[in-house]
A and B are shown apart, each in its own frame.
Chain A
C-alpha cells in the first residue's frame, strides 16, 4: 500500500536512528500519547533500539482502556435488556466490567453486535423499528466525528429507537494533567497524529508555551515515530519548546473543520472520568441538551452504578505511565489477552496487550522504570474545546 511500505523502510529507519545517535547528548523522556503509537513502538521494538538515555513513556491514549468501569457496567446493564440491540467497536466486547463483559453477555443471549462504523448502528435501528439500538460511543477526538454524525443521521431519519452511550475523551486536558503532576517526568510529547488530523494542533500551542515542552505531531508507522522522536530530541537539545508537525501528509494546522463542526453541533465539553486515572476537568465530550433524546444513559436510566476493579490489576498506574505491565503480578499469568483482567490487556492499543504480543516477559527487557504520574488537575478549567 502506498505510503505504508515507504514509512516502514528499514534503510530510512537506520538513517533516522543514526541521526538520533548523532544529536542526542543527554537523557530525555518522551511520552507517546496514543495507544496506536504505543503498539507500533513496542511491537517493533523501537523503544529498545533508541540511543541509550532516550526513554519512551507510554501514555494513556488507548480509548478502550480509559473508558471508565462505571460506563462499561452501564453498557452491560443496557445490553442485558431484551429489547436492546447493543452495538460497539469490536475492542470493547472483551473489556471486563465489574461482573462480566459484553462477550459473555452475548453468550447468555443478549444481542450484542460489532460494528465497523457507527452508521451501521443507525442502519440497524432503521431496519429494526421494534428494537432499541444503542451504540457505545467511545474514543478520542478521532472517533467523535463519526459518532456525532451517527446522531445527526438518526435525527435526520427521525429514528426514536437509536441512542448512544457516550464516553468520549479529549487528549489536550490529559496532557495538561500529566504535565501538572508534581512527579511528572515527561519532557516532550509525540502528539497523536489522527487526533490532530481532526482537531489540528493549535490547542497544543498554549500547552507547549505554558509547560515549556516540545510537542511533535506524529504518525503511526515506524518511520513516523522515529521522525517524531528526532524532531522532539532536536528541540530538547536546542532548548526549543514548540509545536511541530512531523505528520504533515495527514495533518493540517487547523485540522478538519467540517468534522469539528459536526462534533461541536452534537457534543459539548464536559468533565470525564478516565479509567485508572480519575476525573479530569473538561476532558470529555457529552451530548448537547438538543440531542439529549439520543442519550442512552437517560433513556435507560442507568446513571447509578458502583463499580469494582479486579484487585490484582494495576492498570491505573500503567495508564499514568508510572508502572509497566511486567510490574503487575497477574501479567502473562492470570491476565492474558485470552482472559484479560483489565482493559489494557484487551485492546491492541493497550500497553499490557502490546507488551504481551511483543513477548516481553521480564523487567530486564525494559527501559529504566518510569515514574511519571498523571493526576487530575484540581480546579483547572481552561477550555479545551
Chain B
C-alpha cells in the first residue's frame, strides 16, 4: 500500500506490485494502512496479508530444512 484516498463512496488506494503501481479498490479491507501488504484480485484488495503468519510459515519450513539437512538427498530436484 503506498497511497489511500476516498473517491465518492469508494475507498481507493495505490498498490505497488514490486515496482508497478496500480489503483485498487479498498472497500473490502477498510482497516488497511500505508505500508501493509494486500492480496489484490481484479482491482479489489480482498485480503490483508498477516505478516506474523507469513513469517511463522516460513519459520516452520526453515526448521524442517535444518532437521532435514543432514539426510537431505542431493538428488532432490528443486522447482526453480
A residues contacting B by CB (< 8 A) are: 1-4, 6-7, 10-19, 21-22, 44-46, 48-49, 89, 116-120, 139, 142-143, 145-147, 149, 153, 156, 194, 197-198, 222-223, 227, 246, 248-252, 256, 258-259, 262
Residue of A nearest to B25 (CB): A119
Residue of B nearest to A193 (CB): B39
* A17 and B58 within 8 A (CB): no
Contacts A4-B18, A142-B46; A46 near B79 (Cβ below 8 A): yes
Tell me which residues across on chain A come within 8 A of B17, comparing CB atoms.
Answer: 1
* B25 and A258 within 8 A (CB): no
Tell me which residues across on chain B come within 8 A of A246, comparing CB atoms.
Answer: 57
Q: Which of A1, A145, A227 meets B18, CB within 8 Å?
A: A1
B residues contacting A by CB (< 8 A) are: 9-10, 17-18, 22, 25, 27-30, 37, 39, 41-44, 46-47, 49-51, 53-54, 56-58, 61-62, 64-65, 68-69, 71-73, 76-80
* B44 and A44 within 8 A (CB): no
Chain A nearest CB, measured from B23 CB (Å): 8
Contacts A10-B80, A248-B53, A249-B57; A197 near B42 (Cβ below 8 A): no
| A-B pair number, CB within 8 angstroms | 134
21 A-B pairs within 8 Å (CB atoms) are namely: A1-B18, A3-B49, A14-B76, A14-B78, A15-B64, A15-B68, A17-B78, A49-B78, A89-B42, A116-B42, A117-B42, A120-B43, A139-B42, A142-B42, A142-B46, A143-B41, A145-B44, A149-B44, A248-B57, A252-B47, A256-B46
Query: CA A194 – CA B28 in complex, angstroms?
Result: 14
Query: CA A145 – CA B25 in complex, angstroms?
Result: 11
Query: CA A147 – CA B44 in complex, angstroms?
Result: 10
Contacts A15-B64, A118-B42, A146-B25; A44 near B79 (Cβ below 8 A): yes
With A15-B61, A117-B44, A250-B50 already in contact, 11 other A-B pairs whose C-beta atoms are closer than 8 Å: A2-B37, A3-B49, A14-B78, A15-B62, A116-B42, A119-B43, A156-B9, A197-B47, A249-B50, A249-B57, A256-B46
Q: Which of B46, B49, B78 meets A198, CB within 8 Å?
A: B46
Tell me which residues across on chain B come within 8 A of A1, comparing CB atoms.
Answer: 17-18
Contacts A258-B27, A258-B28; A117 near B43 (Cβ below 8 A): yes
Tell me which residues across on chain B come within 8 A of A4, comparing CB atoms.
Answer: 18
Q: Which of A12, A18, A252 meets B58, CB within 8 Å?
A: A12
* B72 and A18 within 8 A (CB): yes
Query: CA A12 – CA B79 in complex, angstroms?
Result: 11
* A117 and B62 within 8 A (CB): no
Chain A nearest CB, measured from B11 CB (Å): 11
Tell me which residues across on chain B come within 8 A of A117, comparing CB atoms.
Answer: 25, 42-44
* B39 and A197 within 8 A (CB): yes
* B65 and A251 within 8 A (CB): no
Q: Which of A12, A153, A248 meets B50, CB within 8 Å?
A: A248
Contacts A3-B54, A12-B65, A223-B61; A145 near B46 (Cβ below 8 A): yes
Tell me which residues across on chain B come within 8 A of A222, comparing CB atoms.
Answer: 79
* A256 and B47 within 8 A (CB): yes
